[in-house]
Chains A and B, each alone.
Chain A
Amino acid sequence: MSDLELLRRFEPVVRFTQGEHFFPMDVDRYVSECSLWEACPDEPPERLVPETQLTLAKLAEPRPAPHGAVHYLRFVEALTPFEAARFVAKQRRAFKRSRGRLARVGLTSRIIDALFSITLILRGRVPGGTAAAAHDVYQRLQEKDERYVYYGRAVRQGGFVCLQYWFFYCMNDWRSSFYGVNDHESDWEQIIVYLSEDLAPQWVAYASHDFTGDDLRRRWDDPELRREGDHPIIFAGAGSHASYFSSGEYMHEVALPFSGPLTRFVRAAQKFWRGTLRQGEAEEENEKEKPRASGVLVVPFVDYARGDGLKIGPGGDKSWEARLLPDTHDRSPDHPQAWTHHYRGLWGLFARDPIAGENAPAGPKYNRDGSVRRSWFDPLGWAGLDKVTPPSDLSAAIAERCEAIRKREAESQTQVAEKMTQLRALGLEAEATLAAPHFKPHHAEHLKQITELSESIEALRKRTAVDHALLEALEMYSARVNSGERLPARSHIKTAHHPSTEETEQLGRLAEAWAALSVGLLILGFIIMLIAAPRFWLNGLVSLVAVISFLEALFRREAKEMIQRGVVGLSLLAAAVLIYEFALPLLVLGIIALGVFIIVENVRELTG
């Protein structure tokens, strides 16, 4: 079976959310609408190829450039605010958002969100109206020739056949159309279907925001993975085009830059508070698939992957057109997709955003900095499959491993026997020379050798014991594998992304209105207080935050939890006051308590 036939056999079905504007397309038509630019640091960008003159062949031409230079495409010029407003109004009719992201999170996250919005003004960003302009061009192209395209390749690695599917969109309008994190011209998304060498599907991995390694993949028999026959179903995020296994609305948190140390400190404090002091709610220690650990300074966003819109792929509303990407070693400029290897630049506007979220992505092979993507050169390692033996090789691999361990165990035993003989000889000599004063220097040397040999024998015996236990485990595993038993389908997942539950989506209009107004009210209230009673600004601020937090808790039906958190906070403050006021007496009391404890323990031992 050819690579293209393989790709077609397992090609995915992509289900979009109603209101989505952009669908996977071919790069040919996109590039024909683009101009090519070069941006060097501290210099205005230079247009290398104007609109309508750019082709894929031209794009693949070599272009030497100084260090720090960025090549990028420019797809559209932003529309005027009036035209963009028309687009937004139309979009609001098509897309019905449910409970807003701000109502799903707490007051702190909303304050941080307000700050994040301010950073957008300062950072480089895709201009407003770009999505509207891109949509106009995309619609024109589709009306002329409606096509839904994916790019793919088959890579054989480590006993697996990896079918890599790439989807190209001319715009990511997550921020401007769906209240998301970012916008950027062009978007590349990927999934990989992993087959065993006998072409049986084993795993599927979907690229999804910041998830990496094992968490990206699902086993073919995992109930979370929806399929249409041999075709996995992807639920694409509205505007973001991130891939999800289940339909729903996903809370996505973006950590603010430089918040890492604070998050780590808070995590450690929480661990001590919950684990050591056993305070508050139980930490889900033994729970598999913990929800993604969120940071302290995070901005919340919702990714809508409802799957209620267009369905592309087998059994869907539209069919795919498949295009094969060149093999890693096929660098011929004559290949129709030679740009895969030869164009390292960005596929859309370079917005000069320092945290890169608004810059367009590079192609399927490259990262934004021009380095090769891991999913390209190591598709197995990208989804954490490099450590997984394909099922067809499993029995043989276990047998081989058992044999190696048995061999090592036998070697260890031989070594132990040899060393024991040496050790006993040394022991005899040490005993014999004990009563001979003229052997004093040799005796010390003997004792040193005895200690070293003894430690070496202990290490060998420990390793043998571990090997023995490992062998037992492998033999048991082999028996389970031979009887057709498999590990649980989700045992490899550490953190999983689950859609919001209905409970979190049903807090009502009032909560949503409060979420939208609360941060603004807090700021206005503070300003009024500063003008009216500047002397009491601190007391006033504390009272204002307390009242707003309490109202917030009422709207979220979490008044009890709020009281608990508030009282615990006050108790910590009170403890700090007592320590500050009575540091010396407390120290003395502590020392007295320690002394009493030692006396009690010793007396108990005496009498015990």
Chain B
Amino acid sequence: MKDAKRPRLLLILVLLYFGQAAIYLTYFALYGLHTKQAFLFFQSLARQGLMHPERLVTMWLLVGTWCVLGVASVIIGVGLRRGRPWSWTAALTLEGAIFALALGAYFNRQANIMFYVGMAAAIAITFLLNQREIQIFYRAHRVITEGQFGR
């Protein structure tokens, strides 16, 4: 990336990305710490038939998801910081996954403040990733073939 000038928005993008990583790792830590105790509590409820066992699976899935999102955000954030072209595509794909997760939860009426915070961060990151200067920097622009008479 020595041939392209670093756009000013790049710093904000990288900071936001690490911020996003921090959010998901915090969720993971909070859930992770409490889930073990909650798991035991809900397990007893499930045994008594007061809670559907599926919810336990959902909880562990969510913890795993926060962990994956947090770790992936760190790795991609490092890639973005170093100006690696793959990191732009990876970042956009990860944001797509976050949107799918958050919107899925919202439309199934299971969204909470954690999802909304994640959504807001993802919107800001997507807006920055889609900025023309950022795309050029990561060479994300598709090369348009010129027509016969030099469009």
Contact = CB atoms under 8 A, between A and B. Distances in A.
A582 interface: yes
Contacts of A282: 132
A560 B120 CA distance: 23
A563 B106 contact: no
**Chain A: interface size category:** 35 or more
Given A574-B123, A577-B106, A578-B120, A566 B149 contact: no
B145 to A, nearest CB: 5
B95 A224 contact: no
B27 interface: no
A396 interface: no
Interface residues of B, number: 30
Interface in B115-151: 116, 119-120, 122-123, 126-127, 130-133, 135, 140-142, 145, 147-149, 151
B29 interface: no
A567 to B, nearest CB: 4
A498 B149 contact: yes
Contact of B132 (A281, A567, A578): A281
B149 A574 contact: no
Given A563-B89, A563-B96, A570-B100, A578 B123 contact: yes
Nearest to B146: A501
B59 interface: no
Nearest to A501: B145
Interface in B3-38: none
Contacts of A287: 151
Interface in B79-129: 89, 92-93, 95-96, 99-100, 102-103, 106, 116, 119-120, 122-123, 126-127
A594 interface: no
Which of A290, A291, A498 has its CB near the most chain B CB atoms (within 10 A)? Answer: A498
Contacts of A316: none
Nearest to A571: B126
Contact of A503 (B96, B103, B120, B145): B145
A249 B99 CA distance: 41
A508 interface: no
A576 B131 CA distance: 20
B148 A577 contact: no
A280 B130 contact: yes
A290 B96 CA distance: 33
A431 interface: no
Given A278-B132, A279-B131, A578-B120, A566 B145 contact: no
Contacts of A246: 148-149
A224 to B, nearest CB: 6
Given A246-B148, A571-B123, A578-B123, A281 B96 contact: no
A567 B148 contact: no
A106 to B, nearest CB: 15
A563 B126 CA distance: 12
B147 to A, nearest CB: 4
A9 B117 CA distance: 76
Given A498-B147, A560-B89, A573-B103, A279 B132 contact: yes
Contacts of B151: 284, 287, 289-291, 498
A278 B131 contact: yes
Nearest to A577: B106
Given A246-B148, A498-B147, A563 B92 contact: yes
A279 B127 contact: yes
Contacts of B95: 567, 571
Contacts of A499: 148
B23 to A, nearest CB: 15
Contacts of B148: 246, 248, 498-499, 501
Contacts of B126: 567-568, 571
Given A279-B127, A560-B89, A567-B92, A574 B132 contact: no
B92 A564 contact: yes
Given A278-B131, A568-B126, A571-B99, A560 B140 contact: yes
Nearest to A290: B151
A32 B96 CA distance: 68
A153 B95 CA distance: 65
A479 interface: no
Interface in A268-294: 277-282, 284, 287, 289-291
Contacts of A575: 123
A246 B148 CA distance: 10
Contacts of A568: 126, 130
A84 to B, nearest CB: 37
Contacts of B100: 570
Nearest to A291: B151
B99 A567 contact: yes
B104 to A, nearest CB: 9
Nearest to A572: B123
Which of B92, B120, B126 has its CB near the most chain A CB atoms (within 10 A)? Answer: B126
A402 B130 CA distance: 51
10 contacts: A277-B127, A278-B132, A279-B127, A279-B130, A281-B142, A560-B142, A563-B92, A566-B96, A577-B119, A578-B119
Nearest 6 CB-CB pairings of A with B? A570-B99, A498-B147, A571-B126, A567-B96, A574-B119, A279-B130
Interface of B: 89, 92-93, 95-96, 99-100, 102-103, 106, 116, 119-120, 122-123, 126-127, 130-133, 135, 140-142, 145, 147-149, 151
Given A280-B130, A574-B103, A578-B123, 9 more contacts: A279-B132, A281-B142, A287-B151, A566-B96, A567-B126, A571-B95, A573-B99, A574-B119, A575-B123
